[in-house]
């Protein structure tokens, strides 16, 4: 009896403590029902959704396929690519079924005690044109699929069961790449007191940020009367280092200035984060509490010093990223994002541009934590259309709201160092576009006076003539390297940003002969050569940008198109089925680095040495034929050997753009065996060595996981690289064996991808062919701790298995 009484008292105390919690955030992840198609009465509570699909959110309904050339087929001339004659584009948006209408429904309970609370319904992204219903009544709608938005539903809730329904409509001809479909980012309920801190109502800046002292300015917008605010600053270990109290408010805003001695300054090399805990009181009663992670850092841009972070000039070593995660589609997953960014970190990349969309909260959190500067972009269209059903339809009504929500939701992230108001907008021509650019820039400035604004401009001559480029804080040039000098002279800012560079194309592990420079080159297999000498009609090879970055102090950095391959835009094969994903990435769709990754790594990663040989050395039938060998390396010189026969020493030199940054042996005659490169110092001494060997027939499957322990949360992922080796353990670079995958235990098979931009096998099939000897299997944890086992099998191969632990 005593034990029962003690338990009952503990239960009551727990309820009392929970009831006193001033703010709750409920993530609406599980228990959703989904239906693809029209369902006119699906928003009503009485509708029978028992036969609908059970899904969790985030969810992308289109990524499951199938791939179909008829989906969103477009006959169009892509003007921003310089096309003048319309042609049929079959893979422009990934050839996945994202068009049409989808419905999501979820039931949730609200206790009577919460009915007098202020309750917000927050969407971090919904693709697209969401209409939101609660208990059969329309709450509101939005337009832009990439926007964050929320509704106050306080007066629309019922005690007990409530039914939320969301209708999403994706029109054809609405995107230039794969946009995804559905509730692809989190949805949550925010439950708080009427006297509370407003949504996105905390703004933290660091007007003074030196190694000696920092000024942390905290502005807090709130609702209510006769309130006071207490803000505590904690260091990364959670220790309180400063605090401030105030009851002085002006127009519903508190402002506090807090001094921090000897602060840790945030940078890509030292991504140190503080936390501000802001508490709102009425007398002694806690009404609201918000924790905000922030960094202490300073940024500046000037003609004299270029871009400076914490008082030091540096150039952006950045990449552009679309928002899809390859085989996961657009459904955001933090472990997948983390893997992407770990690969970029090894590259030496220090900056990311969210192209051409508003970034996810998860990506920004990781950028803060891992150390990436961020160019947060807003739109791909303004008033003038690129595609018939694009953002141009919404610009007048929504542009201001979307920019406000973007800035208010994300401005406390130290990683964000610049905003982009648009990308290659057709409004670059004429005075109307100049006025729109200034109007948008002023909204950014009003919401955030601390950061500059850019636009990615591809019509550089037009922007020089109209004044469009002159009014921007930062003139961003997409390609057009031949116009950099003229733009620098004509624009008043005194510097240029390569907001989009290179657009070099390649397929991982595929090499074409002869290895020569080529523009918009196409081959019968719909692949591009990994000799990294092929590019697009509007673009250039990497070295052209390298030279501008190295030789012109007024060029403040670059954002390469792209870091990873993405679904859609299969240039130069956008008229060639079955190409359905890009060739632009340094890293393929499966997350496996291409050769070009190492070319950039040899420049960007200054902490680790790079020594990488291409091509592979399996060329049956090319015996005695010229087979060029390139080496991407941080060393200045090296000697190449084929079966211990020297092919000579190469030294980086200025005779051509390529020889300045690559070591090349163009006259090597192929013979099977061992290809070896020996890096040398200036005195000719050996400093490093790398070999590539000719492989025999595939014999054994090899598995390598990026992680061997996962969280048992039902959404953590491990990425397992699968390859085959010969009987001597040498990787088989041309293997195309079909493999099958099975997961048992406390985990499940999630997806598979081989990086082939022409593959039509579903990412969710349990078998797939290797591409250039590799593929990647994704396995997912359950909510139960234990061990999962991945088994991979293939005909006439020694099979393999791998165990991965999951823990709470």
Beta strands in 79-135 (DSSP E): 87-89, 100-110, 118-123, 131-134
Residue 36 contacts residue 61 (beta carbons within 8 Å): yes
DSSP code per residue over 45-80: TT---TTSEEE-SS--TTTT----TTTT-EEE--GG
Q: How far apart are CA 262 and CA 258, in angstroms?
A: 13
Of the candidates 758, 177, 761, 341, the one whose C-alpha atom is nearest the C-alpha of residue 508 is 758
Active site (annotated) includes residue 172: no
Residue in this structure with the two tokens 């509570």, named with its chain if needed? 45
Tokens standing for residue 617: 């050395």
The DSSP 8-state label assigned to residue 112 in this structure reads G
Q: Within the chain, how many helices (H) and strands (E) appear?
A: 11, 48
H/E element holding 338? Answer: helix 334-347
Angle made by CA atoms 381, 386, 390, in degrees to the nearest 5:
60
| Bond before 134 cis per omega within 30 degrees | no
408 vs 217: CA distance, rounded Å: 16
Structure tokens, 647: 């092919």
CB 55 within 8 A of CB 32: yes
- Do residues 572 and 521 touch, judged by C-beta distance below 8 A? yes
Per-residue DSSP letter, 527: -
Give me 652's structure tokens: 């980086």
Candidates 43, 195, 377, 500; catalytic one: 500
**How many residues make up the chain in this entry?**
808
Q: Is 550 helix (H, G, I), strand (E, B) or coil?
A: helix
Three-state DSSP at 16 gives helix
Alpha-helix runs per DSSP H in 252-383? 334-347, 361-370
Place of tokens 């800046």: 205
Q: Of the residues 424, 534, 639, 780, which is catalytic?
A: 424
Structure tokens of 722? 């699968």
Under 8 Å between Cβ of 678 and 697: no
Separation of alpha carbons 435 and 102, rounded Å: 37
What secondary structure does DSSP assign to 576-619, as a single string? Answer: STT--B-S--SB-TTS-B-HHHHHHHHHH--SS--EEEES-S--
Q: Are 419 and 376 in contact (CB under 8 A)?
A: yes
Strands 131-134 and 160-170: antiparallel
Written as one string, the DSSP assignment of 644-671 is: TEEEEEEE--SSSHHHHH-EEETTPBP-
Rounded Cα–Cα distance for residues 311 and 300 (Å): 8
Strands 453-457 and 416-423: parallel
Break the chain down into helix, strand, coil percent, rounded to 5: 15, 40, 45
Where does residue 3 rank: exposed (0-12), middle (13-18), buried (19+ CB within 10 A)? exposed
Q: Tokens for 589?
A: 């769709």
**Residues in CB range of 335: below 8 A, 6 or more apart:** 710, 715, 716, 717
Question: How far apart, in whole angstroms, are the C-alpha atoms of residue 384 and residue 397?
Answer: 14
* Chain CA centroid to CA 667, Å: 40
Q: CB 797: neighbour CB atoms within 10 A?
A: 18
Q: Which residue has the tokens 């502005």?
A: 219
- What are the residues whose beta carbons fall under 8 Å from the beta carbon of 3, sequence distance 6 or more? none
Task: Judge whether 500 counts as a catalytic residue.
Answer: yes
Catalytic sites, residue numbers: 424, 500
């Amino acid at each position: 009896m005593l034990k029962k009484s003690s338990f009952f008292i503990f239960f009551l105390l727990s309820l009392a403590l929970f009831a006193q919690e001033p703010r709750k955030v409920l993530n609406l992840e599980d228990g959703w029902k989904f239906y693809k198609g029209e369902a006119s009465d699906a928003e009503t509570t009485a509708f029978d959704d028992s036969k609908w699909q059970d899904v969790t959110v985030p969810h992308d309904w289109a990524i499951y396929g199938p791939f179909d050339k008829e989906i969103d087929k477009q006959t169009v001339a892509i003007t921003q690519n310089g096309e003048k004659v319309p042609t049929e584009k079959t893979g422009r948006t990934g050839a996945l079924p994202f068009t049409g209408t989808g419905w999501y429904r979820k039931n949730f309970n609200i206790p009577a005690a919460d009915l007098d609370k202020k309750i917000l319904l927050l969407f971090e992204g919904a693709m697209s044109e969401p209409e939101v219903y609660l208990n059969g009544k329309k709450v509101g709608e939005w337009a832009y699929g990439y926007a964050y938005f929320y509704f106050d539903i306080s007066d629309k809730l019922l005690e007990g069961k409530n039914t939320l329904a969301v209708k999403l409509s994706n029109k054809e001809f609405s995107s230039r790449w794969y946009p995804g479909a559905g509730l692809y980012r989190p949805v949550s309920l925010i439950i708080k007191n009427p006297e509370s801190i407003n949504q996105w109502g905390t703004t933290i800046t660091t007007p003074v940020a030196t190694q000696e002292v920092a000024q942390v300015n905290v502005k807090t917008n709130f609702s209510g009367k006769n309130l006071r605010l207490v803000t505590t600053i904690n260091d990364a270990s959670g220790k309180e280092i400063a605090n401030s109290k105030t009851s002085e408010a002006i127009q519903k805003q508190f402002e506090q200035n807090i001094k921090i001695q000897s602060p840790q300054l945030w940078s890509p090399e030292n991504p140190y984060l503080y936390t501000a805990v802001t508490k709102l009181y009425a007398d002694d009663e806690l009404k609201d509490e918000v924790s905000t992670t922030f960094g202490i850092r300073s940024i500046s841009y000037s003609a004299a010093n270029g871009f400076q972070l914490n008082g030091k000039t540096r150039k952006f070593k950045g990449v552009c990223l679309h928002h899809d995660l390859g085989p996961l589609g657009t459904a955001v997953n933090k472990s997948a994002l983390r893997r992407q960014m770990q690969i970029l970190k090894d590259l030496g990349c220090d900056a990311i541009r969210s192209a051409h969309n508003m970034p996810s909260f998860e990506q920004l959190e990781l950028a803060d934590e891992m150390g990436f500067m961020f160019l947060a972009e807003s739109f791909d269209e303004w008033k003038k259309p690129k595609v018939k059903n694009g953002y141009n339809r919404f610009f007048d009504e929504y542009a201001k709201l979307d920019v406000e929500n973007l800035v208010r939701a994300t401005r406390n992230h130290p990683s964000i160092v610049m905003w982009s108001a648009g990308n290659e907008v057709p409004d670059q021509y004429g005075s109307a576009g100049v006025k729109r650019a200034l109007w948008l820039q002023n909204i950014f400035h009003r919401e955030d006076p601390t950061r500059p604004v850019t636009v990615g401009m591809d019509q550089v001559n037009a922007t020089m003539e109209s004044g469009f480029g002159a009014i921007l804080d930062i003139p961003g040039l997409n390609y057009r390297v031949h116009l950099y000098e003229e733009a620098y002279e004509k624009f008043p800012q005194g510097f240029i940003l390569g907001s989009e560079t290179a657009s070099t194309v390649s397929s991982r592990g595929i090499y074409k002969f002869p290895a020569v420079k080529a523009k918009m080159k196409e081959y019968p297999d719909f692949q591009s050569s990994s000799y990294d000498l092929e590019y697009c009609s509007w673009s250039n090879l990497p070295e052209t940008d390298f030279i501008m970055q190295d030789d012109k102090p007024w060029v403040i950095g670059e954002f390469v198109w792209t870091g990873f391959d993405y679904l859609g835009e299969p240039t130069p094969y956008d008229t060639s089925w079955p190409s359905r994903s890009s060739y632009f990435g340094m890293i393929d769709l499966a997350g496996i680095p291409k050769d070009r990754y190492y070319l950039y790594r040899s420049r960007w990663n200054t902490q680790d040495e790079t020594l990488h040989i291409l091509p592979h050395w399996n060329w049956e039938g090319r015996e005695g034929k010229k087979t060029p060998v390139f080496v991407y390396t941080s060393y200045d010189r090296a000697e190449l050997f084929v079966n211990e026969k020297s092919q000579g020493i190469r030294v980086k030199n200025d005779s051509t753009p390529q020889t300045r940054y690559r070591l090349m042996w163009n006259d090597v005659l192929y013979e099977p065996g061992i290809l070896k490169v020996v890096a040398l110092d200036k005195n000719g001494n050996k400093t490093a060595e790398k070999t590539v060997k000719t492989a025999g027939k595939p014999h054994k499957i090899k598995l390598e996981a990026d992680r061997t322990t996962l969280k048992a949360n039902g959404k953590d992922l491990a990425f397992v690289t699968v390859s085959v080796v010969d009987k001597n353990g040498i990787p088989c670079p041309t293997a195309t064996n079909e493999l099958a995958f099975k997961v048992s235990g406390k985990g499940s098979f999630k997806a598979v991808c081989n990086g082939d931009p022409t593959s039509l096998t579903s990412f969710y099939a349990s078998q797939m062919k290797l591409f250039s000897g590799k593929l990647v299997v994704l396995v997912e944890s359950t909510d139960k701790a234990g061990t999962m086992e991945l088994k991979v099998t293939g005909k006439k191969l020694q099979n393999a298995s791998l165990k991965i632990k999951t823990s709470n």
